[in-house]
Structures are given as structure tokens and as C-alpha cells.
Structure 1
Amino acid sequence: MVNKIREVTGTIGGEIMTNQSKKFTKIEAEQLNIVDKEGKVKLSLFNEDNIPPALMDGMDILPGHRQDDPLSGLMFFNAEGDECGGLIYGNEKNDDGSYQSFASLTFDQYKQDQVVQMRYVDDSGKRSYGFGLFDRPNQNLRKVIERENEIKNSNLTDEEKASAINQLYEGNVERAFMGKSPNGDVSVSLMDNKGNKRIRMVVDENDVPKIEFLDEEGNVTYKLPPE
């Protein structure tokens, strides 16, 4: 396949390109950044040795995050240079033959974490995969993380720190999930604004369908078919 790259300004292999097109039969790179006309990165393709930092407001908000993970992928950046989602994937194989494999495609709320995710996890044949929707608070994630670090470094007791951090992250909940669990169930779960499962529709590993309605404590209040 012949690839065609057109850009106003940029570099490939040290060669400066300006207002021209060039054709290539093959390009090999450890990282490839797509930038706007001002040089701001809009999209980054990377291998496991060139994982981009988690940028927000021009800062790495999670220093070291993902840097030692066996993943490659593609990262999205918005007009302000914030990471706003992406595709990551990878795997590890152990000496005993066991393995872990994963993939995730996410889209982030503005100045926050993911609100849409398609994910796959495989732990030596125990597989789960599906599609999730999340609620995020109207708070700048960079400021939330800075406050969390302040709490961790404070003179509060461990119990007080845990309580304060939990309050800090209130509103971060998964609201819906559709997918398959390691035990073979295919399900749709709908959660309330606290993250509690309230409706669960399942076709289990024996192809038996059921629908359950739950209270805030997770107790089944009604089900179809009834027992």
C-alpha cells in the first residue's frame, strides 16, 4: 500500500518538508505525531518506549503513569493540548505460559477522565469485554489530583485521608455496561448516580435469560422470570 503524507510543515527522517506532498511505500517510526500548523500535537501514534504523558493544562498530571506498562497505541489531544482519549493495547506472557492481554478505546470528558470506553481484558483465557458509560463531575481533573496529593501529604490519619479522597472523587461512577463476563454471562447493567446496579439483564452461560431490578443495597426486588 502506498501512503501519501501532505503537511504544511514538518519533518520526516530529519528532512524538512514545506507545502509539498511525498509518497512512501513504507514508514517505520517509534512515534509519529500529527500536529496543527502551530506545531501542537493533535494525535500521537506510539510504541511502548514512547508512551505520551497524561497532559492537561500543559502539565503532566500523572507523572510516570503508564510508562512501565507493555502497551502501544494512539492518543488524542484537544485544541488546548489536553489528552482527551485514545486507543491502547498490549500483552504480557509469563514464564509459566500464562498471559495477560488487553485493549481499550476511550473518549474523555472535557478536562476530565473517560466517559465512554470499549474494553477487552484476557487473563490466561478468562475474558471479559464490553462497552461502558461513565459520569464525571464538573471538576478539573488536574486540580482534583493536586488536591489528592495535598491530602496524602497532610497530617491527617490514614482513615481521614481515605475519607477525604473518597469525597474528592464523588461523582466518578460507571452508569452502564454491556458486555461479557469471564463466567460466560452476557449482560446489560444500568447503574444509579452512585454507581449501584439497579437493572441487570442477563443471558447466562446456559443461555437462560433473566431481568433483575435491585435496590441501592444490591438486593433483588423483582425479577423476570419470577422464581
Structure 2
Amino acid sequence: MATNKGKFTELNVEKLNIVDKDGTIKMTLFNKENIPPLIMDGKDILPGHRQSDPISGIMFYNGIGEECGGLIFGSEVDEEGNVFTGGSLTFDQYKQDQVVQMHFSEDKGESVYGFSIYDRPKVSLSQLVEKQATIEKSNLSEEVKSEEIDKLYEGNAQRAFMGKDKEGNVKVQLMDSKGTPRIRMVVDNNDVPRMEFLNEKGEVMYKLPPEN
């Protein structure tokens, strides 16, 4: 079988797709003018999603050509000179959002960076988006709509974070199935360590060392 090979010293492109022999996309490299849509079940499930974000990167796709994670990065400066910059490497649950993420963000001098894991519902993200749209278009009150959407996304929660928060604390934080912090180990910005146990409302119930 004939193969085509080439060697280039430099190659400038705005978007580059890596595909299988049958044309199924496996990976794409893109600039901020060519951010790929979120394709799932053969359609763009969130039109306009990310399209105005100041990001470039690499998107990963699973065996059927659906997004399954990626590496994005970018920055911008507003009219007042405030800087926003960030980066994220994610790996997604099949037909869902990320379950593993390494991330960094800085906004107006405050930065957060670390590693997070998430729980996601078993239902596909495309189905959840469709059901949410139906709820939002219904004649239900805004309060009931909010309650129904919360029920829809049950099982969708951050479960752990290890990194540094915007207050300068280095911490390991474990959350329950609702995303509420329950255990927190911290070395604060004054190099003082502590460990906290929290209830289902996120209130500290026990602390080491105990308060005097």
C-alpha cells in the first residue's frame, strides 16, 4: 500500500485534524478562531459553547468521534489592564463531562491551581442538555424550573481537589456526593497546618489541632 510521507522544517496552520482511515476524527489542534463545537450523538449539543473564549489547544475524541477531553490554554487583558489567564487538561467520562482535571486560572491577580476529580451522571450529556432545554421552555415557575434542573443533574459533583486556592492555602479537600466539602487538610499562607471535618451543610464540626 502506498504511503505519503513528508518532512517540514516549519508548518503554519490554524487548525489540524488527526483522523482514522475512515475519516473519524481522533484529535484536533486549533487556534482561538477555530474552537471545535461540542459534538455528541451526531450534533452540536451546546451551540456557541466556548466559541468566544480566548483559548487555543488540543481536543481529544473517542472511538466514535465524540469529544472526550482536551488541553486548552489562553489569556486576555481587559480595558482596565486586568489579566485573565488559564489552562486545563481534562479527561471525560464516556458521553459526559470531565472526571479528571488538572487546571490553572488567574483572574485580577488571584490564582487557583491544582488537580480535581468529579462524579458524572450515567445519563449522556446530550440527553441532559435536551431535558434542561425542555424544562427552561416550560410554563413552570422559575423556582420549580430551578428545582427540576437540580434534580436532573444529581450525581454531578466535584469530589476532590488538591492544590492551591485564591487565598493562598495549599489544601486537599474531599467532598460528598453532593459536592459539599467534608474533609479538608490545609497548610495556610502563614504555614500553619490544620485538618477539618465538616457536616452535610459544610460547617466545621471538628478541627485538628482543636481550637483553644
Residues 1:178 and 2:159 are matched in the alignment = no
Structure 1 unaligned residues grouped into runs of 5+? 1-7, 9-17
CA shift for structure 1 position 188 = 0.4
CA shift for structure 1 position 28 = 0.4
Q: Report the aligned-residue RMSD.
A: 1.1
Equivalences, count: 211
Q: Does the CA contact (< 8 Å) of 1:57 and 1:81 recur in 2?
A: no
Task: Pick one of 58, 61, 78 that aligns with 2:45.
Answer: 61
What TM-score do you get using the length of structure 1 for normalisation? 0.91
Q: Percent of aligned positions with the same letter in both sequences?
A: 57
Residues 1:118 and 2:102 are matched in the alignment = yes
Give the counterpart letter for 2:129 in structure 1. I
Structure 2 unaligned residues grouped into runs of 5+? none
What TM-score do you get using the length of structure 2 for normalisation? 0.97
Residues 1:79 and 2:36 are matched in the alignment = no
Give the secondary-structure state (helix, strand or coil) at the position aligned to 1:23.
Answer: coil
Runs of 4+ with deviation above 2 angstroms? none
Task: Pick one of 26, 40, 44 that aligns with 2:28.
Answer: 44
**Partners of 1:224 and 1:82 in 2: CA distance:** 46
Partner of 1:204: 188
Question: Which digits, 9 at most, give the CA deviation of each residue in 1:40-71, with x for residues without a partner?
Answer: 11000000110000011111110110111111
Residues 1:164 and 2:136 are matched in the alignment = no
Task: Pick one of 125, 136, 142 that aligns with 2:126.
Answer: 142
Task: Pick one of 83, 86, 98 that aligns with 2:82.
Answer: 98
Residues 1:213 and 2:174 are matched in the alignment = no
CA shift for structure 1 position 84 = 0.4
Partner of 1:226: 210
Q: Does the CA contact (< 8 Å) of 1:57 and 1:80 recur in 2?
A: no
